[in-house]
Every structure is written in structure tokens, then in C-alpha cells.
Structure 1
Amino acid sequence: MNHSQTPAHVVYRPSQLFGPLKTLLAKSIALAVSCSILSSSAFSQDSYSQDTNTDDGFKFEVIEVTSQKRVQNVMQVPITVGIINADLLEESSSIGLADVDKFIPGFDFSDANVTQAGVKIRGVSSPNISVGGDPSAATFYDDVYMPRAAQNVVFSDIERVEVLKGPQGTLFGRNAATGVVSIIPKKPSDDTEGFGKFSWGTDNLQRYEGMANVALSNNLYLRVNGLVSLQDGIVQNTAKPEWNKNNKIWDLGDKNHKAARIALLWDISTGTEFQLSLDLDDLNQAPPMAIGLSAYASHGGTQPFASYTENDVRKGVESRDMYGVTAKFIHEFDDNWSMKYVASVRDWQTVNREDEDGTADITRYFDTSNNEDSDIFYTELQFNCVSARVSAVTGFSYSKENVTQTSELNITTDAVARIVTQDLNNEIRGGVAQQIAAAIGGTSDEITQAVFGPGVTFDAVVDSQFSELGLPMDHLWNPGEWASALNALGYGSTITAALGMPGADLNDGLVLLAGDAIYEVVSQTLGVPEIFGPSHSGQFWQESVNNTGTFTNWGAFADVDFAINDKWHVIAGLRYSNDEKDFAWYIPETSYAAVRPGVSNQLFPQVDISATDSWSKVTGRLVTNYQINDDNFVFASYSTGYKSGGFDSLTPISQADGQEAFAPEDVANFELGYKGILSDSFITNISYYQMELDNFQVAVESKQPGSTTAVSTIINENRSINGIEIDAKWNVSDAITVGIVTDFRNTDADRPSFYNAEGELLDATSTSSDNDTNYTATLDWFPDSKYGAINVHIDYVFVENTNAQRSDILPFQLAIPEYLSDRKNLSARISLSTNDDSMEMAFWGRNLLNERYIEGISNLTRAFFGTSFARINRGREIGMDFKYNF
């Protein structure tokens, strides 16, 4: 029995909680032990794919997966699993999860920020920049859990990708509340083989990939692979700010990613092996896109697909330096029993410094930088027992993660002066309102209309008087506006008298003549050091949130598959999970206090606090499946999942004041599935599910009362999701296969009240939405040719846009057609391989229809700078591949 691969992307069989953990584990382990007594007939499967022939001679590739921590035929696994094998990765020119999500219904992957990527399964995703939280779907690479910034890895020399949908807590544990993505690299073998592959394409795409596998001795094998992927951006960045003289100015969409892996496999003896691997990852590319949508941006913010824009972000970059070391020991005790032990250490440092205003306006400059330095130790011990009637797996997992995150918010002093300007405008307007209220005897519209006439509101009168004073100011460094404000405050005559001009009005000429002097006088008079003059222009004001944390997770699990007879199986499993998190926030005073003593933070209050919390949960699954005949298989399952609570890095809490961490997620999922071959040429997977998700951790852009800016904040909402997923392929002939994947999903959500990005309090809402129409259609054609093997692959993706259904969408977003347009993507690849398969040449195209759309909009700085920005997709791409195998 070969258990050299661990579960990846197959659907789990649900388990139900049957009582206290000790009792259940004891019963499960006892049942597992009995498997060696019930039968000595164990199965052994060393290959991972095989062909199934139908009566008409058609062939279907049947892939064996390890999604249940057992080697199984994917067509006989009682969970909903999406598989991307090495051939499909090749034919679709895919090097990441964002390239293959279209082939799996109910699965989406967003990598606009490589270091803050988001897995979405069945409409549920929880990406967030906070290291204090976790994704709702877990990602594993080579049997090892991958946290947040580490989960987006480059595909090089990959065996397959498995996407398991629904709660997978029983076998995978940590953060597998809605599913699991498992990426399985190829392992060393006793073959001497290798390849070199070169790709060129649109936007100066250059991709170089290679692999070599050699036998160092009769039982020691080495496999080495590497990949370099480079591509120019799609929007020229024409900004040339002074502060970027010695720093690279990236065009928007520039890519630069390198990865390598070295794996050594030692066949110690028959049934015993040890593998040691090292993987390296180096990312250094343009920061995430920020194409301005405001009047202050290039083209007035009305042309998101223009050839150029201006992003003046200082030292903008997205980078990740990561390595991981993994050791595996696999041993077969006898025909029934085997074990696997995995231990891994992974370390990474990331920098994601990006523009947050989408302009080159120095008075609206705002950038953020998410800097992370983290490491994790992960280990798992697993025992497997297989007999004629029982297949059992039990084990223990443990992980400890140390995180350090610094979230920088950088603004120019010019931008700080704009924030101060808004505060002064509000103060002056409040004074005007008080004067008018005193004069007319109140603030109600009824009193106002009695004095000024029908239809006149109190706010209209205040605004009119405010305007007559030459206000509001746009920026206090505008001499004329500053003079008007000081006259309105009653300081004008005092200042002109001090200048030796008693009785004169303060005007822009006098302000210019005095330079910073008048600003300093007002600053000292009001006791507001944040008021300073234009000589401070062009300097940087930084505020930072510094987080540290230690997260410990451990779990014990047991899962038993019992064959009632040759056709009917029942599976039960349980896991106990325990999470502990220690977290700290340190927010120092602004860096500009060193230049101007006395200034205080404008964005975040100074704090130095810490918090700790722990969560535990028993999750499980109960599954039954029935093999109707050789070609048809049905299953039903009930499973529960869990994701621990956590802390929001940008929202400090004080447990002394009764504040708490955000709540853990709980998931319950019922599922019915069918897998089968119909009419000898039609293979299909259909599943129906109902999922209840409590305390879903949603990240929203929220501007709290008294806050200057919106920040990413976690809120908890409840969701009820039900849907159908279909994955079907039809062998039209020996040479043609067509396929379609699609899903239909309805989501009911109860969202609590929260402040949106503009500071408006949105009431608690209950909404119901459909995912509408979305599908991927594929065609593969293998025409006969005497010159070699020809393969034509075509796929078409359609996704109906649902942005208008979002509860937090803003009116201006509804007016942007490209943000509401459906997504259509036609891609194709035609390849020719020599008869001996030593060489292959291919031509390919992506987004051949050149569809353009806005992938996302950020409103982080809209409330106080009036700025928003967009992220757009890449247009049509064409290219060619050349591969040499040896």
C-alpha cells in the first residue's frame, strides 16, 4: 500500500458528533484495529491514474486521489472533488490557482495581490490583510498547511490539484471550514528524465521552466525543477515624483515571479521511504493596480482602460521571499497497516506597498504597506489500516506559527494639511450654525422657514452663509482660502494689526508675504501643532500598526470507512481541534513627531496592548455511499466544519474593557452526490448541497465615527447557502471530448449593521441572492496526424456579474458599466508533439475576445480625499510554447 501522497482535493465524507471525544476516538481506533482481523486482504495502489474502457472502446482517465488521506479512485470518493491534472495544467498554460479555477464549479481564486490571495469555495471567501485571522478554506502544498501569504504558489512540475468542497475539518482540521485546496507536486522516481520549456507572449511574456530527475543510486532519487515568469504591465505609469528618483517605477501589472524545488527520495526498503524537499519562492513585481476613478486622477478618472495613468506611490512593490523544508517518512508495517509522518518548516517575508488614492496629487497622497515576517512549523502523524471491509485513518496534527506584521499608512504632509483643512471647515461651519441658531431661536426647519420663507432648510441657510465667507477651504495652503478662514474665525484683524496694518483685511497677498509665520501664530494660539505652513510640503508622515502573534493549533482525528457489503459503505469520523492565539498591537506616535514635536496621530490612536484567546471544537462527518454498478455511484453526507476566531490587526481591542476577539466560524453541510458514466461515453459529477455558515468573518471597508479614514474591519454575518454543481464530459468520438462545469447557488445572508467606507451607518440587513449564470465549456480535439500528436484545446468562460447585489455597493459604482459587466473569456491552445514525444510546440491565446472589465474597486480614501481606484483585467494575450523532453 502506497500512501506517499496525502489528501488534496476530494470531497470529504461528513461525520456527525457522537459524544465525547475520548469515547468516539476510542471506538474509532478500536474499529481501525479490527480491520486487520476482519480480513487480510488489503489493497495496494501505487499508480495515480488509470484508464477505464467502455464497451464502445472510449477511454476515460480515472484519477486516483488522496483527498480522504487514502488512495482512492476519484469516481468512488463520496465527496465533491475537483481535479486538475498535469495534462490540463499543460493544455491551459496554467501556473497558478487563478488560471485553473474556471475548470472547477463553485471554486474561485483571486490573486490580484499574490501575497493576499483569496480562495473562494461555494461563494465563501475571507481574504483579509490581518495576520490575526485565517482563510475559511485551507490550502495544502505537498501535505503541509499553507497560511495566508504563503498559499499562492507557482505551479511547476505539479502532479495535480485537488479542490475538496464542503467542510473538511475531520481530516484536514485547521481552517478547512468550507473546503480544501491541495496542491501535489511530482515526487522523485527511479527514472532519468527531464524537460526544458520556454514560453513567449503578449506584453513581453517570458517564461522559462525546467525539470531534471535522476537516480543517484539504486534507491536514492533526486528531482529538481524551477520556473521563471516575467511579463510587462498593461498600463504605463507616467508618474515621476521626486521621492522615486532611486526607486523603480513599475508599470501597472508588471509580473516577476521565480520558484524552484529540490526533492530527494530515499527508498530505505520495500514499503519504507523518506523524502526531503526544499522549495524556494521569490516574488518581486509591481504593486497591486490602482487606476484612479476620481476627478483628481489621470483622464479625470473616466478612462479605466487608458494606456497610461499616474501612480506616485513611494517605493511601490509587491515582494515575497519564502522557503519551505518538508520531510516525509512513510512506512508499511504489513499488508494492512501503514503510517506517514510529515514535518515542515516554512518562513516568508512580504512587502506589499501600494497606492491607495490612484492619483499623482501630492495633497491626496496615501499609500499602505503590509509587511509580514512569519514562520510556521507544521507536523502530522497519520496511521492507515486497510482490509476487505474497513479502511481507517487516524492521527494527530500540530502547528505553531509566529507572525510579525507592520501595517504602514504613509501620507504626505500636504495630505495631512488637507485633513486638517477638513477639520477646520467643520469647526467653522459649526460656529456659523451656532450663530444662526442663536439669531433665529433654533435649528429646526420649521423655525427656519418661519424666518426665511417656505421650503428653506436650516442646513441650506448655514451653507449659504458659509459660502459667503469664501468657505469651505479646499486646502489651507491656498493663501486666499486661508485668509478667508482666518477672517471668519475673527483672527484676521488681529493678524493684520500685528503686521503693522491695523484695520486692514487679511488677504492672500499678506499670507504669501508672511510665509509660515501666520500658520505658526494660529497653531500656537489654537494649540494645534498639526497646523503648519507650506514649507513642510513634500515630506512624509507615517503611522504604523505593529502586530505580533503566536498561534498554536493541534488536533486529533479518526475516520473509518466500513463496508457493509460490496456495494454499500458507511463512513464516520471525528476531529478535536484546539486553537490558541496571543496577539499584540503597538501603535507608536507618527514619525513626523520627530520633525514637529507635539503633532498627534491622524489615522490611528497610540496604543500598546495585547490580547489572548482560545477556541476548541469537535467536528465530524457521517457519510454513506452506494456503488449501484461499475459505472454509477451515489453518496450522501453530513459534515461540520470550524475556523477559529481571531484578531483584526487594524482594530486594537482591550480585553480589560470587555472587548472580544471576533467569533469563530461554524459550518454544517448536507450533501447528495452522483458520479457515473452514462451511455458509455458521458461521465458526470453532480452534487446538491445545503450549507449553514454561522459567524462568517467578512472583511469590509469601514469608517468608524471619529475616524479619519476607512480601514479593513471584520464583521460576523450568518449565511445559508444551497446549490447544485455539475461537472460533465462527453466523448463525442475517439478524437473529440467536450465538457462543461457549472453551478447554481442561492445565498441568504444576515449582515449586522456597520459603517461603510463613507462613514454611513448601514442598517442590519437580510438579503437573498443568486450566483446567476456561470459556466465553463471546454473542447479537446485530437486529430490524426502522421507528423505527430496534435491537440486542440478550447475553453470558454461566462460569469454573470452580481456586483449590483452587494449590500455595501455605493451609488457611483452602479454608474460604472465596466464594473457591472458580465465576464466572458475565450481561450485556446493548439499543440504538436513529435511521435516520440521528445518535442512539443504550441500556440495559445487567452481572452481572445479581448473583453475588458473592472475586477474590483477600493474606496479606502474616498471619505476624506474623494478618491477611489480600480483594478482591471489584462486584455487579449497570444503566445507560443516550446518544450523539449529527455
Structure 2
Amino acid sequence: MRICFWPIVGCGVLAGSPLAAAAAGEQSPPSADTTADVMTVDATVNARFVPEENRKIPFTVNHFSDEDLQQQQIKDAQSLFWMTPGLALNSDGQNPESSLKIRGVGSLNQVSSDDTSVVTMLNGVPVPQGNLSSRLLDISQIDILKGPQGTLFGRNSEAGVINMTSNRPTDIFEGYLGGEWGTRHHHLGELMLNTPLTDTLSSRIALQYDRKNAALKNQQDGDKPLSHPQDLSGRGSLSWQPDERDNLLFTVDHQRQRHNAVGMTLLDGHDKISLPKGVMNDRGNDTTLTFNWQHSWDQLQLTNVTGWGHYFHRSSGPFNDYRISQQLYGTDYDSWRTFSNRQKQFFQELRLGSTENSPLFWVTGINYLYSGRTHNYTGGWNDAPGWENDPLDAHIHRRFTNDSIALFGETTLPLTARLNLTTGLRHTWEKHRYRDHWQANPGYANPGDTAYSDKQSLSESYFTGRIGLNYTLTDDWSVYGMYSRGHKSGGFSDWDTSIASGQPATPYKKATVDSYELGAKALIPTLHLELNQALFYNRTHNDHFYALIDPSSSFATVIENFNTESKGAELSATWRPNSDFMLRTGMDYTLATVTHLPQDSQSGGHKGNRIPDVPRWGATLAADYSHPLQLGALPVVFNSSLNYRYSSQREADVGNNFKLGETHLMNAKIGLKSRYGDIYLWSTNLLNNRSPVYGFYYPALDAAYGGTGKDAHVGTVREGRVVGVSYQYYF
């Protein structure tokens, strides 16, 4: 393979966020030595199963601690992704078909819930990424690993990994009780209780309930919110440490979502939708069980990770609201459909490797993943012209089964006193089985049979891995280069409609990516400054896309494969002049384009088109100030933070038919911490930016076919400004 680094224009990204506020109580000025430690400490990341300093990792890692998430008012995964440079999200917040790209790498849209370009890990177990509105409840840290992670994190980490770790039970009785109240009917309550049960056994329980208004207002319901999304999340953990060498952790996570219908409407600068009252319904239930056991020797540790999950999502409502119908057809057309996605998953991994304090890093292991999933669809009715010939005028039942087993290993070897070599390799065997049954509704008018079935399977065997060098210029400066090979399996689409013609489903092809990164990480103690910079180039072959052949008149789909490339630069700087103040700033640039597509592509795309959802420019600014005060006899800590993320315009679809507007997201927080609790005034989306979250292009339909001759830009907009107050009491 030829290594080709392109000249890259632009700079930077912000990776991370604020320092935690100081604890309440009497404060004395820190000593000079303590201040130096505070201002030069390097983030400890969990990128390779053991805690490591970020500077020693030869690729980019965006690190968020639990304090960072609280300061930035980040309560769910979707908010985290919007605030992280280099991540491109296509999601309405509730749709299991959501897709995520890192540095322009990933499916052009989500062709299947199994087509995960980015792996999400929770306590060492991969979890489905479809529901990007999952709550970040009692999280210890999140590390976003950029670039293919095909050595240690599995078969589908084509673009990167979101590695989340929850807080473990401790041997101290503690907890907190808190709540938030805000505009747009925002209500949130949360509870955490950590209890030592014996000298070796501890438990931890965390609960959270959240309710707010949907982003869109319904014109047919007096401009009231379309729905009132509700989320109930909980986690229970048991930690047992029978001796100093063994540590066992059992965790149960559950999330229950109701009334989360978001809706799709015209993107014409308004936050309105037009639907009969109560017609939208969206609900989900996700449960994940994890068991971790670790046995340690002096320089060696054995880790077992076992995970089981059950994930369910159901959505029903119209195909289009009346505003879209008026734009395309000049009249109101009623319609209705429902679909559900149910998945069961089992994961088992054993790995043997070095400990945190070992002079040489290495890890090797084996894992197995089973996933069984059903996707059911029912097209109830549609009054729009052509529905009687639409392949979705039917009931469709699909069954997907995946088995995967892999052997992996990675090590970092010192070649000289300053030069380290990191190399890893993984071999994976996979089998995919697919069944599909299509049953036409009674009014279906196309000739041919009214029922078809399909049964297929695919097998793959492949290598992934990486190799990189890290050179230490000084104790505080290092430079690195990394090459990674990523792979994403082929499979079967959730929305293939070829079966309506009696044809077997056409599998989408396996995708591969060659990724290159050059970077530098540095601490400058004399300036109290931390710098991170990276240049990257990614070349992807056969990534995935599904297109509506003629979305104005039919929901028939076609699955296509594209070649793409992305290149760019990221730069971030953190300045900590004293223990009270911290400033982070950064810029990022990504140019992501289509380099090849099928000759007869029905997507409307062309070679050289920009990849949808990926902004070219971005900037980040985070400022935090914390200072101890004395209010009479009460010692308190004043705490404030301001976090801003800018993203430039981005293309809405692969045809580059229209752009989604600039994003300006600002969150702010100000308040006091004391022994009587923490009270804050806060705001999310302070600038009230209502830019589109995602978009689709519906081409014009000629009057001869019942259309108005007008095209439509459809999608949804982000939630507006929320201002509120929060209180949290610790015990």
C-alpha cells in the first residue's frame, strides 16, 4: 500500500474540557510545587485497557472526565458528539438508524443497525449505537479514540471508538440527590447512593429521570410541542474485591424512553410541523448486563469481560407531515407506518496483558460476539399518488444473525531510549445470516405475487491492525506517526426493497479504510500550556449508502457502495495560568469527498461531491473559573464555565443539493458550592441556534404525476435555548 500524505490547510480541534471545581470548605493558597503539578498534569486515558498518559498514545484521544461532562452541561451522548470536534452526526435523537462519522470516515448514511462505523463501548462491552440519545449517567470518563481501532476494539471500529467507563462502587458511604428545572418544561431528577456492604463488597446505585419539550411545535395542536420526551435511566453495580489481586464488578444498565417522537418537516427556517394530535409514537427499552473480573500478578493481569444486552425501539407515525405534502403535492395527504428494531447480544472476551506499572506494554486476547436482531415494518396507508405501487405498501419481517470470533494482540516496544514502536494485529472470522419475508397489503397493485421470502448468508475472514512510532523529543514533547487498517463487514440492509419484485436482497460490500496520522503532543510548564496537533488522511473503499430511488413518489431503495477520502488537521491548546482559571481553545479542518461511485448510481451524487454531514471548519472555546470565597461564616467556592462550539455549513445529502446551516452551540453555568449543596444557574444552547440537525432532499414531482413541480428540503431542527437552575446535595 502506498502511503500518501496530502498537504492540509487549516488547524485544530478542542479535545477535552474544564477542570473540576475545587471542593467546598476552607481553602489555602496552593504551594508553588502543587500549582505546577495542577497545571502540567496530563490526562489519563483508557485507550488500551490500562490507564496511560495521553502524551504516550500515538493517535488522537479526546478525553472527558465526569467533571468535564458536568461543567459543559452534557447529559446525553448526542450532546457530547455535537460538542466534539471531528465527529459528524446524522440523527434526530431517537432514530435507531442514526449514523456517526469521525474525521469524515463512516457510512454515508446508516444502511443497517449492524453497520456500525464507530463502536461504542460501555465498561468493556460493545453496545448498539443506534440510539444516540442515551444518557451519560454516573460516568467516570469517556475517551473518544480517533482513527480505526481494529486491533483491540473489534470488527467494526472503522472510524474510531467511543469508550465509556462508569463510576465503580467504593468503600466509602456517599451519595447525592439533585434536580434541575428549566424553560421548555425541562425537569430532571437524579440520585446516586454508594454503600459499602462488607469490607470487600460495595454497591452503587444511580437513577435519573428527564422530561422536556420536543424541538418542533405542532400546528394542528395549537403550536404546542409535538411531544414531551421522557427518559428514565438507572445503573446498579456490585464490586467485590476478595483480596488485593482480584477485582470483580457486576453492572446492570437500563434506559426507558417514552414519547420521543421527533418528526420530520420542511427546513424553511421554522420550527413547525403539521400532524394530527397524538399520531406520533416512539418508545425504547435498553438493558445491558456486564461482568468484569480482573486478576493481577506483579507485572501481568488477566481480564474477563462478559456482556449481555437486550435493546428495543419502536416508532410509528406518518411518512410525511402536511407541510411536506403541501410542498410536493399541493394538498394534505394522510399516511401511517410503524417499524420496530429488537436486538439481543452476547459478548465474551478474555485478555492477558501488562499492568499499569509494567515497563513494557502488551496485551493479547480472544473474543466472541453474537447478535440476533429482528426488524419489522408495516406500511399502514398513504394517500399520496403512487402508493398502490410502492414496495413499502406491505408488511416486512427481517431477521439478522451475526457471529464473530477474533484473536488480537498489541505491544509497544522501546527501540531506543526515546523511540517507541507500537504495533498490533487482529484476525476476525464472521458469519452473517439473513431472512426476509415480504407480504403486500390488500391494495397493492403491482403485478406478480403478493408474498416473497429470502434467505442468505455471508462469511468473512480478515486482518486489521496498526503500526506507529512515537519519538520523545524531551520529557514534555513527543511526536508520532501512525498507520491503521480498518474494516467494516458487508451485510444486509434494513430497508432493501428488491424483494417486492421477487429478487433476493443485494448485500452491501465490505468496507476498508487506510488511515494515516502525524501529530505532536506537548506540555510547556513555564507557560502553563498544553498543546496537541494532528494531520490526518483517510482513504475508504466501498463504504455504504442507501438511496431512495424517487423519494417524491416511492420509498423504493437501492444499496450502493462509494469510495471516499478525507484529510484535515486538528489543533488544541490548554492554558492553566493558575489553579483558578483554565482556557481551552482549538480549531479543526476536514475536507471529506466522494472519490468514486457506481457508474449508474441513483443517489444523485458525483465524484468530488462533499460527504454529507461533515463540516469543513470548526472551532471550540472553553473557559472555566473557580475560586474559594467566604460568605459570612460559610466557606463556598464560586464556580463558572462557558463552552462554545462552532461548525461551518455542511452538505445535507450526497447529491449536494442543499446545505445545512452553521452551528453555534454555547452552554454556560455559574453558581456556588458549599457544604449545604451546590446551586447553579445554567443554560444550554444559549445563542438559541435552531440550525438543522439533518436533512433529506425530495426532488420535484411533475404535475402529470400529481406533483407541484417544487422540490423539498426536509429534516428537523435542534432544540432551542433552555435556561434553568439546578441544586445538588452531597452526603
TM-score, with structure 1 as normaliser:
0.71
- The correspondence for 2:294, drawn from 330, 333, 339, is 330
For residue 400 of structure 1, what is the amino acid of its counterpart? Y
- The correspondence for 2:434, drawn from 574, 579, 583, is 583
Paired with 2:217 and 2:608, the residues of 1 have a C-alpha distance of 43
Paired with 2:706 and 2:62, the residues of 1 have a C-alpha distance of 45
Paired with 1:198 and 1:857, the residues of 2 have a C-alpha distance of 34
Residues 53/77 of structure 1: CA separation in 2 closer, same or farther (3 Å cut): farther
Residues 57/151 of structure 1: CA separation in 2 closer, same or farther (3 Å cut): closer
Moved more, 337-346 or 623-632: 623-632
Paired with 1:313 and 1:642, the residues of 2 have a C-alpha distance of 45
1:612 aligns with 2:612: no
1:372 aligns to what?
Answer: 341
1:187 aligns with 2:168: yes
2:516 aligns to what?
Answer: 670
For residue 300 of structure 2, what is the amino acid of its counterpart? W
User: How many Å apart are 1:602 and its aligned residue?
Assistant: 9.8
Paired with 1:402 and 1:170, the residues of 2 have a C-alpha distance of 24
Paired with 2:226 and 2:669, the residues of 1 have a C-alpha distance of 27
- The correspondence for 1:229, drawn from 180, 204, 210, is 210
Tell me, what secondary structure is at the counterpart of 1:783?
Answer: strand
| 1:734-793 Cα shifts (integer Å, max 9, x gaps) | 32211113211222322425888xxx7747523468943211111111234224111111
| 1:829-860 Cα shifts (integer Å, max 9, x gaps) | 112101x4x51001111222223223333346
* Runs (5+) with no aligned partner, structure 1: 1-13, 17-47, 242-248, 294-301, 424-529, 531-540, 594-598
- The correspondence for 1:830, drawn from 662, 670, 679, is 670
Paired with 2:522 and 2:605, the residues of 1 have a C-alpha distance of 47
Residues 312/391 of structure 1: CA separation in 2 closer, same or farther (3 Å cut): same
Larger helix share, 1 or 2: 1
User: How many Å apart are 1:570 and its aligned residue?
Assistant: 1.1
For residue 198 of structure 2, what is the amino acid of its counterpart? S
For residue 774 of structure 1, what is the amino acid of its counterpart? G
1:637 aligns to what?
Answer: 482
1:176 aligns to what?
Answer: 157
Residues 868/774 of structure 1: CA separation in 2 closer, same or farther (3 Å cut): closer
For residue 154 of structure 2, what is the amino acid of its counterpart? G
- In the TM superposition, 1:257-336 aligns within 5 A as 257-292=231-266, 304-306=270-272, 309-312=273-276, 315-332=279-296, 334-336=297-299
User: How many Å apart are 1:573 and its aligned residue?
Assistant: 1.0
User: How many Å apart are 1:106 and its aligned residue?
Assistant: 0.9
1:685 aligns with 2:536: no
Residues 129/121 of structure 1: CA separation in 2 closer, same or farther (3 Å cut): closer
Contact 1:711–1:860 (Cα < 8 Å) also in 2: no
1:785 aligns with 2:638: no
Paired with 1:313 and 1:649, the residues of 2 have a C-alpha distance of 29
- The correspondence for 1:737, drawn from 578, 582, 598, is 582
- In the TM superposition, 1:496-645 aligns within 5 A as 543-590=394-441, 592=442, 599-600=444-445, 606-645=451-490
1:114 aligns with 2:94: yes
* Runs (5+) with no aligned partner, structure 2: 4-19, 21-29, 326-330
1:851 aligns with 2:696: no
Residues 127/841 of structure 1: CA separation in 2 closer, same or farther (3 Å cut): farther
Determine which structure has greater relative contact order: mean sequence separation of CA pairs < 8 Å that are 6+ residues apart, divided by chain length.
2
Paired with 2:648 and 2:120, the residues of 1 have a C-alpha distance of 27
User: How many Å apart are 1:808 and its aligned residue?
Assistant: 1.4
Tell me, what secondary structure is at the counterpart of 1:169?
Answer: coil
1:143 aligns with 2:106: no
Paired with 1:198 and 1:763, the residues of 2 have a C-alpha distance of 48
1:404 aligns to what?
Answer: 374
User: How many Å apart are 1:129 and its aligned residue?
Assistant: 5.9
For residue 371 of structure 2, what is the amino acid of its counterpart? E
User: How many Å apart are 1:659 and its aligned residue?
Assistant: 7.0
Contact 1:589–1:600 (Cα < 8 Å) also in 2: no
1:649 aligns with 2:623: no
| 1:87-109 Cα shifts (integer Å, max 9, x gaps) | 11111221112222355321244
User: How many Å apart are 1:192 and its aligned residue?
Assistant: 0.7
1:510 aligns to what?
Answer: none
1:505 aligns to what?
Answer: none
Contact 1:545–1:649 (Cα < 8 Å) also in 2: no
2:10 aligns to what?
Answer: none
Residues 763/879 of structure 1: CA separation in 2 closer, same or farther (3 Å cut): closer
1:203 aligns to what?
Answer: 184
Larger strand share, 1 or 2: 2
Tell me, what secondary structure is at the counterpart of 2:341?
Answer: strand
| Count of aligned pairs | 681
1:99 aligns to what?
Answer: 79
Residues 201/752 of structure 1: CA separation in 2 closer, same or farther (3 Å cut): same
User: How many Å apart are 1:861 and its aligned residue?
Assistant: 9.2
Contact 1:585–1:652 (Cα < 8 Å) also in 2: no
- In the TM superposition, 1:429-448 aligns within 5 A as none
For residue 325 of structure 1, what is the amino acid of its counterpart? L
Tell me, what secondary structure is at the counterpart of 1:184?
Answer: strand
2:607 aligns to what?
Answer: 765
Tell me, what secondary structure is at the counterpart of 2:630?
Answer: coil
| 1:33-84 Cα shifts (integer Å, max 9, x gaps) | xxxxxxxxxxxxxxx9xx9968867524433222112221122222210011
User: How many Å apart are 1:136 and its aligned residue?
Assistant: 0.8
Residues 313/587 of structure 1: CA separation in 2 closer, same or farther (3 Å cut): farther
Residues 108/226 of structure 1: CA separation in 2 closer, same or farther (3 Å cut): farther
Paired with 1:762 and 1:604, the residues of 2 have a C-alpha distance of 31
Contact 2:148–2:486 (Cα < 8 Å) also in 1: yes
Contact 2:91–2:693 (Cα < 8 Å) also in 1: no
Residues 557/289 of structure 1: CA separation in 2 closer, same or farther (3 Å cut): same
Contact 1:620–1:640 (Cα < 8 Å) also in 2: yes
CA RMSD of aligned residues (A): 3.4
For residue 385 of structure 1, what is the amino acid of its counterpart? S
Indicate the structure (1 or 2) with the bigger Cα radius of gyration. Answer: 1
1:842 aligns with 2:680: yes
TM-score, with structure 2 as normaliser:
0.86
Tell me, what secondary structure is at the counterpart of 1:171?
Answer: coil
Residues 642/290 of structure 1: CA separation in 2 closer, same or farther (3 Å cut): same
User: How many Å apart are 1:135 and its aligned residue?
Assistant: 1.6
User: How many Å apart are 1:568 and its aligned residue?
Assistant: 2.3
User: How many Å apart are 1:612 and its aligned residue?
Assistant: 0.7
Tell me, what secondary structure is at the counterpart of 2:374?
Answer: strand
Contact 1:342–1:381 (Cα < 8 Å) also in 2: yes
